[in-house]
Amino acid sequence: MENRKYYQVVDELASLRKASPFNLRFSQLMEYEFEQSNGLWYRDAIRVATLFAAALLGGAHIVQWLSGLSVPPYVELGRLGSIGMLIATYVYVARSKRLIYQHLLVNLNALVATLVILSFCLSYPAPFKHIFYTAIVFVQIFVFALIRMPFVSAFFGALVILAVSNAAIYYSGTPAAEWFFLTFFLVAGGVLSLVICYRMERDARESHLQSMLVSMERDQLKLQNAQLKERLSEDPVTHLLNRRTFENAVLEKWNRAFHNRKESALVAISVESLKQLNQMRGSEAGDDLLKSVARQIKKILFESDDVAARISGGRFCVLLSNASTSEISRRMKRLRKGLLSISVLQEDDISNAGIRISVATNVLVPDAEGDSRDAIVRVMRDVEPMFFVDNEQDADVEALLAS
Protein backbone atom coordinates (compact mmCIF):
# COMPACT_ATOMS: atom_id res chain seq x y z
CA MET A 1 0.00 0.00 0.00
CA GLU A 2 1.21 3.48 -0.79
CA ASN A 3 1.16 4.84 2.75
CA ARG A 4 1.36 8.42 1.60
CA LYS A 5 -1.70 8.16 -0.63
CA TYR A 6 -3.60 6.07 1.91
CA TYR A 7 -3.13 8.65 4.65
CA GLN A 8 -3.91 11.42 2.18
CA VAL A 9 -7.27 9.79 1.49
CA VAL A 10 -7.86 9.38 5.24
CA ASP A 11 -7.10 13.08 5.75
CA GLU A 12 -9.40 14.04 2.88
CA LEU A 13 -12.20 11.97 4.42
CA ALA A 14 -11.72 13.61 7.83
CA SER A 15 -11.69 17.08 6.23
CA LEU A 16 -14.80 16.30 4.20
CA ARG A 17 -16.77 15.38 7.31
CA LYS A 18 -15.89 18.74 8.86
CA ALA A 19 -16.20 20.84 5.71
CA SER A 20 -18.90 23.45 5.18
CA PRO A 21 -21.34 23.04 2.26
CA PHE A 22 -19.33 25.64 0.31
CA ASN A 23 -16.02 23.80 0.71
CA LEU A 24 -16.80 20.30 -0.57
CA ARG A 25 -13.67 19.88 -2.65
CA PHE A 26 -10.60 17.64 -2.62
CA SER A 27 -7.02 18.35 -3.56
CA GLN A 28 -6.47 18.97 -7.26
CA LEU A 29 -5.47 15.43 -8.25
CA MET A 30 -8.11 13.74 -6.12
CA GLU A 31 -10.77 16.14 -7.36
CA TYR A 32 -9.87 15.16 -10.91
CA GLU A 33 -10.17 11.45 -10.01
CA PHE A 34 -13.56 12.09 -8.41
CA GLU A 35 -14.84 13.92 -11.49
CA GLN A 36 -13.58 11.13 -13.74
CA SER A 37 -15.25 8.44 -11.65
CA ASN A 38 -18.56 10.33 -11.73
CA GLY A 39 -18.32 11.46 -15.34
CA LEU A 40 -20.58 8.76 -16.74
CA TRP A 41 -23.21 9.36 -14.08
CA TYR A 42 -23.24 13.11 -14.83
CA ARG A 43 -23.56 12.44 -18.53
CA ASP A 44 -26.54 10.17 -18.10
CA ALA A 45 -28.25 12.45 -15.57
CA ILE A 46 -27.89 15.56 -17.73
CA ARG A 47 -28.96 13.77 -20.90
CA VAL A 48 -32.09 12.37 -19.25
CA ALA A 49 -32.89 15.74 -17.64
CA THR A 50 -32.53 17.74 -20.86
CA LEU A 51 -34.68 15.32 -22.86
CA PHE A 52 -37.31 15.26 -20.12
CA ALA A 53 -37.39 19.05 -19.87
CA ALA A 54 -37.65 19.44 -23.65
CA ALA A 55 -40.51 16.95 -23.69
CA LEU A 56 -42.31 18.86 -20.91
CA LEU A 57 -42.01 22.17 -22.75
CA GLY A 58 -43.26 20.55 -25.94
CA GLY A 59 -46.06 18.81 -24.06
CA ALA A 60 -47.09 22.10 -22.45
CA HIS A 61 -47.62 23.52 -25.94
CA ILE A 62 -49.90 20.60 -26.85
CA VAL A 63 -51.91 21.01 -23.62
CA GLN A 64 -52.15 24.73 -24.28
CA TRP A 65 -53.47 24.10 -27.79
CA LEU A 66 -56.01 21.53 -26.59
CA SER A 67 -57.26 23.84 -23.83
CA GLY A 68 -57.63 26.78 -26.23
CA LEU A 69 -55.19 29.02 -24.36
CA SER A 70 -53.01 31.44 -26.26
CA VAL A 71 -49.81 33.28 -25.36
CA PRO A 72 -47.94 36.18 -26.99
CA PRO A 73 -45.47 35.31 -29.78
CA TYR A 74 -42.45 36.22 -27.63
CA VAL A 75 -43.45 33.50 -25.14
CA GLU A 76 -43.59 30.92 -27.93
CA LEU A 77 -40.20 32.09 -29.18
CA GLY A 78 -38.81 31.74 -25.66
CA ARG A 79 -40.17 28.23 -25.41
CA LEU A 80 -38.61 27.26 -28.75
CA GLY A 81 -35.31 28.84 -27.67
CA SER A 82 -35.35 26.90 -24.40
CA ILE A 83 -36.04 23.63 -26.22
CA GLY A 84 -33.19 24.43 -28.63
CA MET A 85 -30.79 25.06 -25.73
CA LEU A 86 -31.82 21.81 -24.07
CA ILE A 87 -31.16 19.85 -27.26
CA ALA A 88 -27.81 21.63 -27.75
CA THR A 89 -26.85 20.73 -24.17
CA TYR A 90 -27.80 17.10 -24.82
CA VAL A 91 -25.58 17.01 -27.92
CA TYR A 92 -22.67 18.66 -26.08
CA VAL A 93 -22.86 16.21 -23.17
CA ALA A 94 -23.17 13.24 -25.52
CA ARG A 95 -20.15 14.21 -27.65
CA SER A 96 -17.81 16.10 -25.33
CA LYS A 97 -14.97 14.13 -23.75
CA ARG A 98 -14.16 16.39 -20.81
CA LEU A 99 -17.49 18.10 -19.93
CA ILE A 100 -15.85 21.36 -18.91
CA TYR A 101 -19.00 23.52 -19.09
CA GLN A 102 -21.70 21.07 -18.01
CA HIS A 103 -22.56 22.84 -14.72
CA LEU A 104 -22.71 26.23 -16.42
CA LEU A 105 -24.99 24.83 -19.13
CA VAL A 106 -27.29 23.19 -16.58
CA ASN A 107 -27.66 26.47 -14.66
CA LEU A 108 -28.18 28.38 -17.88
CA ASN A 109 -30.86 25.95 -19.04
CA ALA A 110 -32.56 26.15 -15.64
CA LEU A 111 -32.57 29.96 -15.85
CA VAL A 112 -33.96 30.00 -19.38
CA ALA A 113 -36.64 27.45 -18.48
CA THR A 114 -37.56 29.58 -15.45
CA LEU A 115 -37.84 32.69 -17.64
CA VAL A 116 -40.14 30.82 -20.02
CA ILE A 117 -42.30 29.64 -17.11
CA LEU A 118 -42.43 33.19 -15.71
CA SER A 119 -43.50 34.48 -19.09
CA PHE A 120 -46.43 32.06 -18.91
CA CYS A 121 -47.19 33.34 -15.42
CA LEU A 122 -47.34 36.91 -16.71
CA SER A 123 -49.50 35.87 -19.67
CA TYR A 124 -52.13 33.82 -17.80
CA PRO A 125 -54.53 34.88 -15.07
CA ALA A 126 -55.03 33.06 -11.78
CA PRO A 127 -55.18 30.14 -11.10
CA PHE A 128 -53.10 29.17 -14.16
CA LYS A 129 -50.19 31.43 -13.22
CA HIS A 130 -50.03 29.89 -9.74
CA ILE A 131 -49.67 26.46 -11.33
CA PHE A 132 -46.73 27.75 -13.36
CA TYR A 133 -45.13 29.25 -10.23
CA THR A 134 -45.29 25.76 -8.76
CA ALA A 135 -43.42 24.48 -11.82
CA ILE A 136 -40.44 26.66 -10.84
CA VAL A 137 -40.05 24.63 -7.64
CA PHE A 138 -39.97 21.45 -9.68
CA VAL A 139 -37.27 22.99 -11.87
CA GLN A 140 -35.17 23.65 -8.78
CA ILE A 141 -35.61 20.17 -7.33
CA PHE A 142 -35.05 18.47 -10.67
CA VAL A 143 -31.96 20.47 -11.64
CA PHE A 144 -30.19 21.00 -8.31
CA ALA A 145 -31.14 17.75 -6.57
CA LEU A 146 -31.65 14.99 -9.10
CA ILE A 147 -28.74 15.97 -11.36
CA ARG A 148 -26.59 16.33 -8.21
CA MET A 149 -24.72 19.45 -9.21
CA PRO A 150 -21.89 20.72 -7.01
CA PHE A 151 -23.40 22.59 -4.08
CA VAL A 152 -21.72 25.93 -4.83
CA SER A 153 -22.97 25.90 -8.42
CA ALA A 154 -26.46 24.85 -7.32
CA PHE A 155 -26.54 27.53 -4.58
CA PHE A 156 -25.78 30.43 -6.91
CA GLY A 157 -28.12 29.01 -9.55
CA ALA A 158 -30.93 28.84 -6.98
CA LEU A 159 -30.24 32.44 -5.89
CA VAL A 160 -30.48 33.69 -9.47
CA ILE A 161 -33.74 31.80 -10.09
CA LEU A 162 -35.21 33.13 -6.83
CA ALA A 163 -34.21 36.70 -7.65
CA VAL A 164 -35.63 36.52 -11.17
CA SER A 165 -38.85 34.93 -9.89
CA ASN A 166 -39.35 37.62 -7.23
CA ALA A 167 -38.72 40.34 -9.79
CA ALA A 168 -41.37 38.83 -12.05
CA ILE A 169 -43.87 38.55 -9.19
CA TYR A 170 -43.23 42.17 -8.25
CA TYR A 171 -43.52 43.31 -11.87
CA SER A 172 -46.89 41.52 -12.26
CA GLY A 173 -48.40 43.67 -9.48
CA THR A 174 -49.21 40.72 -7.23
CA PRO A 175 -50.81 41.68 -3.88
CA ALA A 176 -48.52 41.65 -0.85
CA ALA A 177 -50.10 38.60 0.81
CA GLU A 178 -49.98 36.63 -2.40
CA TRP A 179 -46.40 37.78 -3.05
CA PHE A 180 -45.37 36.69 0.46
CA PHE A 181 -46.96 33.27 0.00
CA LEU A 182 -45.37 32.69 -3.42
CA THR A 183 -41.95 33.87 -2.21
CA PHE A 184 -42.13 31.57 0.81
CA PHE A 185 -43.12 28.68 -1.45
CA LEU A 186 -40.23 29.35 -3.86
CA VAL A 187 -37.70 29.79 -1.04
CA ALA A 188 -38.86 26.56 0.63
CA GLY A 189 -38.51 24.71 -2.67
CA GLY A 190 -35.04 26.16 -3.22
CA VAL A 191 -33.88 25.26 0.30
CA LEU A 192 -35.22 21.74 -0.05
CA SER A 193 -33.43 21.24 -3.37
CA LEU A 194 -30.17 22.63 -1.92
CA VAL A 195 -30.36 20.36 1.14
CA ILE A 196 -30.85 17.34 -1.10
CA CYS A 197 -28.02 18.55 -3.35
CA TYR A 198 -25.67 18.98 -0.38
CA ARG A 199 -26.42 15.56 1.06
CA MET A 200 -26.08 13.82 -2.28
CA GLU A 201 -22.77 15.50 -3.11
CA ARG A 202 -21.31 14.87 0.32
CA ASP A 203 -22.43 11.23 0.29
CA ALA A 204 -21.00 10.78 -3.22
CA ARG A 205 -17.64 12.23 -2.19
CA GLU A 206 -17.52 10.21 1.02
CA SER A 207 -18.43 7.04 -0.86
CA HIS A 208 -15.68 7.76 -3.40
CA LEU A 209 -13.04 8.12 -0.66
CA GLN A 210 -14.25 5.04 1.19
CA SER A 211 -14.15 2.99 -2.00
CA MET A 212 -10.55 4.15 -2.54
CA LEU A 213 -9.63 3.08 1.00
CA VAL A 214 -11.31 -0.30 0.55
CA SER A 215 -9.54 -0.79 -2.78
CA MET A 216 -6.12 0.08 -1.35
CA GLU A 217 -6.66 -2.12 1.70
CA ARG A 218 -7.77 -5.00 -0.54
CA ASP A 219 -4.68 -4.56 -2.74
CA GLN A 220 -2.50 -4.45 0.36
CA LEU A 221 -4.09 -7.64 1.66
CA LYS A 222 -3.48 -9.38 -1.66
CA LEU A 223 0.14 -8.23 -1.61
CA GLN A 224 0.65 -9.44 1.95
CA ASN A 225 -0.93 -12.79 1.14
CA ALA A 226 1.32 -13.15 -1.90
CA GLN A 227 4.39 -12.23 0.16
CA LEU A 228 3.39 -14.63 2.92
CA LYS A 229 2.80 -17.41 0.39
CA GLU A 230 6.21 -16.70 -1.15
CA ARG A 231 7.93 -16.76 2.25
CA LEU A 232 6.22 -20.02 3.18
CA SER A 233 7.21 -21.60 -0.13
CA GLU A 234 10.89 -20.66 -0.23
CA ASP A 235 14.03 -21.27 1.76
CA PRO A 236 14.92 -18.09 3.70
CA VAL A 237 18.69 -18.42 3.11
CA THR A 238 18.95 -19.27 -0.60
CA HIS A 239 15.49 -18.05 -1.74
CA LEU A 240 15.03 -21.32 -3.61
CA LEU A 241 11.91 -23.41 -3.00
CA ASN A 242 11.68 -25.40 0.21
CA ARG A 243 11.29 -29.16 0.13
CA ARG A 244 7.52 -29.33 0.50
CA THR A 245 6.83 -26.78 -2.23
CA PHE A 246 9.44 -28.40 -4.47
CA GLU A 247 7.92 -31.87 -4.10
CA ASN A 248 4.46 -30.50 -4.94
CA ALA A 249 5.88 -28.74 -7.99
CA VAL A 250 7.75 -31.86 -9.12
CA LEU A 251 4.64 -33.97 -8.69
CA GLU A 252 2.65 -31.55 -10.86
CA LYS A 253 5.34 -31.48 -13.54
CA TRP A 254 5.76 -35.25 -13.30
CA ASN A 255 2.09 -35.72 -14.14
CA ARG A 256 2.34 -33.15 -16.94
CA ALA A 257 5.42 -34.89 -18.35
CA PHE A 258 3.55 -38.20 -18.30
CA HIS A 259 0.75 -36.75 -20.43
CA ASN A 260 3.26 -35.06 -22.79
CA ARG A 261 5.59 -38.09 -22.97
CA LYS A 262 8.58 -35.92 -22.03
CA GLU A 263 11.69 -36.86 -20.09
CA SER A 264 13.12 -34.78 -17.25
CA ALA A 265 16.34 -34.79 -15.25
CA LEU A 266 16.57 -34.63 -11.49
CA VAL A 267 19.86 -33.20 -10.21
CA ALA A 268 21.02 -33.69 -6.60
CA ILE A 269 23.69 -31.39 -5.16
CA SER A 270 25.13 -31.86 -1.70
CA VAL A 271 27.51 -29.64 0.28
CA GLU A 272 29.47 -32.18 2.31
CA SER A 273 30.66 -31.38 5.85
CA LEU A 274 28.66 -28.10 6.00
CA LYS A 275 28.51 -28.48 9.78
CA GLN A 276 32.35 -28.50 9.86
CA LEU A 277 32.41 -25.18 7.97
CA ASN A 278 29.96 -23.66 10.44
CA GLN A 279 32.18 -24.75 13.32
CA MET A 280 35.34 -23.41 11.68
CA ARG A 281 34.07 -20.02 10.44
CA GLY A 282 30.60 -19.55 11.85
CA SER A 283 27.12 -19.95 10.45
CA GLU A 284 27.44 -16.84 8.26
CA ALA A 285 30.21 -18.51 6.25
CA GLY A 286 28.00 -21.58 5.82
CA ASP A 287 25.11 -19.40 4.65
CA ASP A 288 27.39 -17.60 2.20
CA LEU A 289 28.43 -20.92 0.69
CA LEU A 290 24.81 -22.03 0.37
CA LYS A 291 23.94 -18.74 -1.35
CA SER A 292 26.85 -19.20 -3.77
CA VAL A 293 25.66 -22.69 -4.66
CA ALA A 294 22.11 -21.36 -5.16
CA ARG A 295 23.39 -18.65 -7.53
CA GLN A 296 25.12 -21.26 -9.67
CA ILE A 297 22.00 -23.43 -9.70
CA LYS A 298 19.84 -20.54 -10.90
CA LYS A 299 22.12 -20.09 -13.90
CA ILE A 300 21.06 -23.45 -15.39
CA LEU A 301 17.30 -22.88 -14.95
CA PHE A 302 16.30 -21.93 -18.49
CA GLU A 303 12.78 -23.27 -18.96
CA SER A 304 9.67 -22.02 -17.16
CA ASP A 305 9.10 -25.54 -15.83
CA ASP A 306 12.59 -25.80 -14.30
CA VAL A 307 12.52 -25.67 -10.50
CA ALA A 308 15.15 -25.84 -7.79
CA ALA A 309 15.02 -26.21 -4.02
CA ARG A 310 17.12 -26.48 -0.92
CA ILE A 311 15.96 -29.80 0.52
CA SER A 312 17.70 -29.67 3.89
CA GLY A 313 21.02 -28.55 5.32
CA GLY A 314 23.48 -28.47 2.44
CA ARG A 315 21.36 -30.53 0.04
CA PHE A 316 19.77 -29.12 -3.10
CA CYS A 317 17.55 -30.64 -5.76
CA VAL A 318 16.92 -29.37 -9.31
CA LEU A 319 14.37 -30.51 -11.88
CA LEU A 320 15.28 -29.84 -15.52
CA SER A 321 12.12 -30.31 -17.56
CA ASN A 322 11.75 -31.20 -21.22
CA ALA A 323 15.52 -31.33 -21.79
CA SER A 324 17.36 -33.66 -24.14
CA THR A 325 20.37 -35.71 -23.04
CA SER A 326 22.77 -33.30 -24.76
CA GLU A 327 21.05 -30.32 -23.18
CA ILE A 328 21.27 -31.90 -19.74
CA SER A 329 24.98 -32.60 -20.30
CA ARG A 330 25.59 -29.02 -21.37
CA ARG A 331 23.81 -27.60 -18.36
CA MET A 332 25.61 -29.95 -16.00
CA LYS A 333 28.92 -28.86 -17.45
CA ARG A 334 28.00 -25.24 -16.84
CA LEU A 335 26.90 -26.08 -13.29
CA ARG A 336 30.16 -27.89 -12.59
CA LYS A 337 32.21 -24.95 -13.79
CA GLY A 338 30.14 -22.59 -11.69
CA LEU A 339 30.55 -24.69 -8.57
CA LEU A 340 34.29 -24.96 -9.20
CA SER A 341 34.46 -21.16 -9.29
CA ILE A 342 33.27 -20.78 -5.69
CA SER A 343 36.40 -19.33 -4.11
CA VAL A 344 35.97 -20.57 -0.56
CA LEU A 345 36.20 -24.18 -1.73
CA GLN A 346 39.67 -23.55 -3.15
CA GLU A 347 41.17 -22.69 0.24
CA ASP A 348 43.47 -25.37 1.71
CA ASP A 349 41.96 -25.50 5.20
CA ILE A 350 38.47 -25.92 3.72
CA SER A 351 39.62 -28.67 1.37
CA ASN A 352 41.53 -30.45 4.13
CA ALA A 353 38.45 -30.37 6.35
CA GLY A 354 36.53 -32.40 3.76
CA ILE A 355 34.17 -29.54 2.82
CA ARG A 356 33.24 -30.22 -0.80
CA ILE A 357 30.32 -30.52 -3.17
CA SER A 358 28.96 -33.67 -4.77
CA VAL A 359 26.52 -33.89 -7.65
CA ALA A 360 24.36 -36.66 -9.14
CA THR A 361 21.77 -36.79 -11.90
CA ASN A 362 18.86 -39.10 -12.54
CA VAL A 363 16.83 -39.14 -15.76
CA LEU A 364 13.13 -39.48 -14.97
CA VAL A 365 10.85 -41.36 -17.35
CA PRO A 366 7.33 -40.74 -16.01
CA ASP A 367 4.91 -43.62 -15.93
CA ALA A 368 1.39 -43.98 -14.64
CA GLU A 369 2.51 -45.90 -11.55
CA GLY A 370 5.44 -43.67 -10.64
CA ASP A 371 5.61 -41.04 -7.93
CA SER A 372 7.95 -38.09 -8.12
CA ARG A 373 8.51 -38.19 -4.35
CA ASP A 374 10.05 -41.64 -4.66
CA ALA A 375 12.42 -40.33 -7.32
CA ILE A 376 13.51 -37.47 -5.08
CA VAL A 377 14.18 -39.76 -2.13
CA ARG A 378 16.08 -42.23 -4.34
CA VAL A 379 18.34 -39.70 -5.98
CA MET A 380 19.15 -37.97 -2.69
CA ARG A 381 19.94 -41.32 -1.05
CA ASP A 382 22.08 -42.62 -3.87
CA VAL A 383 23.91 -39.39 -4.62
CA GLU A 384 27.39 -40.19 -5.89
CA PRO A 385 30.15 -37.96 -4.56
CA MET A 386 31.96 -35.96 -7.21
CA PHE A 387 34.61 -34.08 -5.34
CA PHE A 388 36.32 -30.96 -6.54
CA VAL A 389 39.68 -32.12 -7.74
CA ASP A 390 42.70 -30.71 -9.42
CA ASN A 391 42.47 -29.40 -12.96
CA GLU A 392 44.16 -32.45 -14.46
CA GLN A 393 41.28 -34.60 -13.24
CA ASP A 394 38.54 -32.32 -14.62
CA ALA A 395 38.01 -34.44 -17.74
CA ASP A 396 37.15 -37.53 -15.68
CA VAL A 397 34.72 -35.55 -13.56
CA GLU A 398 33.06 -34.05 -16.63
CA ALA A 399 32.57 -37.51 -18.09
CA LEU A 400 31.03 -38.71 -14.86
CA LEU A 401 28.69 -35.73 -14.72
CA ALA A 402 27.51 -36.30 -18.25
CA SER A 403 26.84 -40.00 -17.65
Respond yes or no on whether the N-terminal peptide bond of residue 127 is cis (omega within 30° of 0). Answer: yes
127 φ/ψ angles, rounded to the nearest 5 degrees: -95, 5
Q: Which pLDDT score, from 0 to 100, does residue 396 have? A: 38
Q: Which pLDDT score, from 0 to 100, does residue 374 have? A: 63
Q: Which pLDDT score, from 0 to 100, does residue 260 have? A: 65
Exposure class string for 320-335: b at 16+ Cβ within 10 A, else e: bbbbeeeebbebbeeb
Q: Which pLDDT score, from 0 to 100, does residue 287 have? A: 92
Nearest to 268 by CA among 297, 305, 239: 297
Angle 389-391-395 from CA coordinates, rounded to 5°:
90
Spell out the domain ranges in the chain.
3-217, 243-402
Q: Which pLDDT score, from 0 to 100, does residue 293 have? A: 93
Rounded Cα–Cα distance for residues 319 and 300 (Å) = 10
Q: Do the strands 264-272 and 356-364 form a parallel or antiparallel pair, or are they unpaired?
A: antiparallel
Average pLDDT per consecutive 10 residues, the chain (403 residues; last block may be shorter): 79 90 87 82 84 86 79 86 90 81 85 88 79 85 79 90 88 83 89 89 91 91 85 88 83 69 78 88 91 91 82 87 79 88 86 83 64 57 42 38 38
Domain 243-402 carries which CATH code?
A: 3.30.70.270
